[in-house]
Structure 1
């Protein structure tokens, strides 16, 4: 039996479902956080004893990684007002001078346990996700010249941790980017802090409506701006921060994180370009428009122009995007195809509903995301973004004005 993923607008009444297999970990919310449940047969096909792994990055440089604990004392937490400061955990990936000794842990055993329990997954060891083999080395020495590296901020789907975008982050870092992925506290099933605290998903229990999703986007944009302050300000919180070029900053997000990319561009002029990976947008772009480059990357079943209310949110925003823009759809993809989940579910014997293999979906996502950032942050011409490619025949270029893709 094939699993399917609910898709829809944040304001619809589509029922929330449970997450399948490692979908408890990664990104099965369609921007608004709709989840899906594995069928009994799907759960029974899980393959215990398999050690999951992420595909090797495609760039030439070794990858280092570290985590930062950041505290914004200028504002209370938006979801837990009793917390007078907004606390965030951020993972950084960056090009390293050489590989280190210790590969980074994908997540902790406790995080794996909480995520699988949230997805009602019983056919796999509770710590299986913590054993996922990554390609980055903990605290490896950064490589690069002063202000020589562009910075990309990543934001995950609602209820999902920053680790869901590790495969993309490692790839960008291997190509010479600094990447900062944010755990939006109390919006994730599990976030572990240095003192051992594990916060859970307060927002998962809140009744959702369009105004709430707009609040979420604005809160995430505030998180992004604060992280940029901490990485590029006078007293940066990372020892390698001198390598970041503050004039070359962009953002990509999956699901709710992708929707938040538009809000971040509207809020913070430092964010020069943005990508929404399969996320229904919530806060409309003002009549004045948005002139900075933007890429929509999604699945045909939800985001084909003229095919429903969810696609209409992209069509609404498309009209207000006045600069460089593309609308790309990946044939055979599902919501989970644009992050690590497609790869990990394949390895663990779980069918996530996608008709495209997870490794192929990740290859496509990495290629188009990197091309977008290389074009707009490095000013390198990217023919891949000009028209359909024989290398990636699954990718369709859409023309919303014609209600067509090719």
Structure 2
């Protein structure tokens, strides 16, 4: 369970730590890794938002109001322009410092270019919204490949840095906060409720007549989804219980630290995880997915991905392999493809009403995905 709760500390170290340092001190610095291109038909725009919830004290640093950094991706008019960087130099340095890698430029991750043009004008309005919540200790950038792909298919996507729960979050005034919550013993149990409040606040700020960014009507507030990795997946279920505006949710390999409360969750939900973690009979499954499965009372699927690790639902295995890490049973590129395919199919079905037979059984194109249960 420690791996599942502290994914930023463990999974990022597994994904990047052993390969970050060159084999010899004299070896040239590695080039910046490249993100897998999104597959949808629309060019991408992006905006970085600093949102302050003046009604709420920060739960980890109560002397401050709760403030969040959010990356918004969306279909754009422009196909060219200045592409956004993956993280800031300060964030890159802190993320790499935690891995104790020698000989790696501290700005390596900030030299990764995304596929989205900064500040590009949106090409359309009335977009369904998908909110993304990363694993504990991980930044919002860890879900960039998924976010960009969804946006290229016609979604607005908002990835949240849950302040003081990420190893590094840079704010417009130059501050870069770290993971205060990582050093608090009982923090995992507090996270789902905190993130639920964060998600609702972000939805508030992105919808309505005066949104924080873009024209009114950019987002269709009647079509909202939420996907989270690790503890972000548990938080997705809690946020859906707390906020009826969220129509559908995905838990990517996250244990249910906070059980789904009675009378259950009656909206569509996808459990999508590594086969060796949550398949029947595994110790973690015994305490988590099996117990909460009956509490999901709406449309539901439980899918296990053979060969996946806990971090396979993020960018990190794909980036790590480009820096020399041996590929696992499920390569980083394949993991990104599988995650994008099933998560987008789920939201297409439940936010757009499109038939997606992929969600009803085994697919010869994706033999590593097995449905453990359907409902």
TM over 0.5: yes
2:306 maps to 1:325: no
In the alignment, is the contact (CA less than 8 A) between 1:368 and 1:385 conserved in 2?
yes
What stretches of structure 1 move > 4 A for 4+ residues in a row?
6-11, 16-19, 41-47
CA distance in 1, matches of 2:224, 2:161: 19
Q: Which residue of 2 aligns with 1:370?
A: 344
Q: Give 1:48 shift.
A: 3.5
Q: Which residue of 1 aligns with 2:13?
A: 20
Q: Give 1:214 shift.
A: 3.1
In the alignment, is the contact (CA less than 8 A) between 1:45 and 1:350 conserved in 2?
no
Q: Secondary structure at the match of 1:154?
A: strand
Q: Give 1:350 shift.
A: 2.1
From 123, 136, 154, the counterpart of 2:132: 154
Q: Which residue of 2 aligns with 1:316?
A: 291
Q: Secondary structure at the match of 1:136?
A: strand
* Structure 1: tracts of 5 or more residues without a match: 1-5, 24-37, 402-406
CA distance in 2, matches of 1:317, 1:214: 16
CA distance in 1, matches of 2:159, 2:226: 10
CA distance in 1, matches of 2:79, 2:11: 38
Deviations 1:228-253 (A, max 9, x none): 11011332111245221000001001
Q: Which residue of 2 aligns with 1:380?
A: 354
Q: Give the TM-score taking structure 1 as reference length.
A: 0.86
2:50 maps to 1:69: yes
2:199 maps to 1:224: yes
2:373 maps to 1:399: yes
Structure with a larger share of its residues in strand: 2
Q: Secondary structure at the match of 2:192?
A: helix
Distance 1:313 1:95, change over 3 A: same
Q: Give 1:21 shift.
A: 7.1
Q: Secondary structure at the match of 1:20?
A: helix
Of 298-307 and 59-68, more deviation after overlay is shown by 298-307
Q: Which residue of 2 aligns with 1:295?
A: 270
From 24, 37, 52, the counterpart of 1:56: 37
In the alignment, is the contact (CA less than 8 A) between 1:337 and 1:358 conserved in 2?
yes
In the alignment, is the contact (CA less than 8 A) between 2:5 and 2:136 conserved in 1?
no
In the alignment, is the contact (CA less than 8 A) between 2:44 and 2:151 conserved in 1?
yes
Q: Which residue of 2 aligns with 1:203?
A: 181
2:77 maps to 1:97: yes
CA distance in 1, matches of 2:86, 2:211: 25
Q: Give 1:7 shift.
A: 5.9
Q: Give 1:308 shift.
A: 1.2
Q: Give 1:82 shift.
A: 1.2
Distance 1:343 1:88, change over 3 A: same
Q: Secondary structure at the match of 2:247?
A: strand
In the alignment, is the contact (CA less than 8 A) between 1:338 and 1:365 conserved in 2?
yes
Deviations 1:180-214 (A, max 9, x none): 00000111111111111111111111113xxx423
Taking only aligned residues, the RMSD between alpha carbons, in angstroms, comes to: 2.2
From 100, 108, 111, the counterpart of 1:128: 108
Number of aligned residue pairs: give it: 371
Query: Residues 174-193 of structure 1: matches in 2 within 5 Å?
Result: 174-193=152-171
CA distance in 1, matches of 2:175, 2:153: 34
Deviations 1:55-98 (A, max 9, x none): 11110000000111110011100000111x10111000000012
* Structure 2: tracts of 5 or more residues without a match: none
CA distance in 1, matches of 2:244, 2:55: 20
